Structure 1
């Protein structure tokens, strides 16, 4: 039983989000994967807090994947979100930033999960912002390899 409180379109697909009555936690399901639905008697209160769209994006960004990636990137929220949207990564201030404007450059902790890492070095390069890789070490190796390839190509006459 799902106490649905939102239907959200994202990346060409429709999702329903709500509270799973059996386990008491938020769940998100793709609508095209639901074979049957029926209404049940009763009512429930929609939760306070983020709206359905933010809940769906947060579920995507925190889903279980092979790699858990943690970075620190120096920039604005908008600079980072242009390359790592809310459906991919979560952002939080790293260090004291109380009351800072979203347009102010600062260090932000970026967390994301991925099944593969091969795409991430190109995204980090395209940010053109200072960054620190906290984990995993495999990402550091991939970024170094990309930097070496780029430097080698740039030296060619």
Structure 2
């Protein structure tokens, strides 16, 4: 981007940030002469921005009202932030919003310069937003939105996924201990407001799911890797976050089709896989079996306990309590 173009964008940002600017004020902000300010204003007018000028006390430059402004040219980090927000909206599950977000992403791609477009493309292609809007589902209260991560971490991982290069990072476990990891990144996922990376752990020689908010010192290397055959990435990550973190796990057969049960199970609460046309297998984790039994009761569907047998006893206990109540 040339200095003149950068300065013109800076001028546009200034005009949008305040109602009126005098020529000397703009010249001081841009570190140029008032004559250069006038030329930059003319450039904005040629681009279609209605910049008005008035003389006298209280006068100056301002953006005109009542007309649609052309799309604002975004710098790299701004464009990436907008693209990520649109990508999240596209996978939100809200009727109508997803389609509009996809159209907006297409328009954004058309107005960005090549270097910024490549950055935005790297992020959006590496992202997968898992729809976590189950109809009427209960919540454990353990997965909440707003877990912050560094934007540089997201962009670094997205680039590494796009370029197929190894990543080195320090990863903080749940107990606070940090360990160095060498990984091959495959997909960045957003699930219920939290970000995850699906990757092959080179030291453990296995697939792993990493939380981005626990990553430190993320560095993409120059070592390229040959893509490995992957399992079902979304199913693997769902299993990692809904069963893996908990000391107890359970498997039950629900005598209803997976297409009926799946939308009622949040991504952080369990995984649902088909078991023929008329049944499915639900796997869930918890710190005690009573929580799983209560969730099954809330579903109100016919189930067969596969594992562990103690879950049958917990279901019977809750049933006895319900009858007594």
Change (3 A) 1:145 1:51: closer
Of the three residues 94, 99, 107, the one matched with 2:279 is: 107
Are residue 53 (structure 1) and residue 261 (structure 2) matched? no
Between the aligned partners of 2:227 and 2:243, the Cα distance in structure 1 is 22
Of the three residues 121, 128, 134, the one matched with 2:300 is: 128
The equivalent of 2:192 in structure 1 is: 11
* Bigger fraction of residues in strand: 1
Are residue 39 (structure 1) and residue 211 (structure 2) matched? no
Change (3 A) 1:20 1:49: closer
SS at match of 1:35: strand
| Contact in 2 for aligned 1:8/1:52 (Cα 8 Å) | no
Q: Report Cα offsets for 1:107-152 as digits up to 9, x if no partner.
A: 3333333322222222212222221223223322221121122222
The equivalent of 2:164 in structure 1 is: none
CA RMSD of aligned residues (A): 2.4
5+ residue gaps in structure 2? Answer: 1-181
Of the three residues 273, 286, 290, the one matched with 1:91 is: 273
The equivalent of 1:23 in structure 2 is: 204
Between the aligned partners of 1:71 and 1:83, the Cα distance in structure 2 is 15
Change (3 A) 1:70 1:22: same
The equivalent of 2:319 in structure 1 is: 147
Whose Rg is larger? 2
Between the aligned partners of 2:305 and 2:272, the Cα distance in structure 1 is 15
* Bigger fraction of residues in helix: 2
Q: TM-score, normalised by structure 2?
A: 0.39
Question: What is the CA distance between 1:37 and its match in structure 2?
Answer: 1.0
SS at match of 2:224: coil
| Contact in 2 for aligned 1:58/1:90 (Cα 8 Å) | no
Between the aligned partners of 1:85 and 1:63, the Cα distance in structure 2 is 15
Change (3 A) 1:56 1:90: same
Q: TM-score, normalised by structure 1?
A: 0.75
Question: What is the CA distance between 1:34 and its match in structure 2?
Answer: 1.0
The equivalent of 1:103 in structure 2 is: none
Question: What is the CA distance between 1:38 and its match in structure 2?
Answer: 0.9
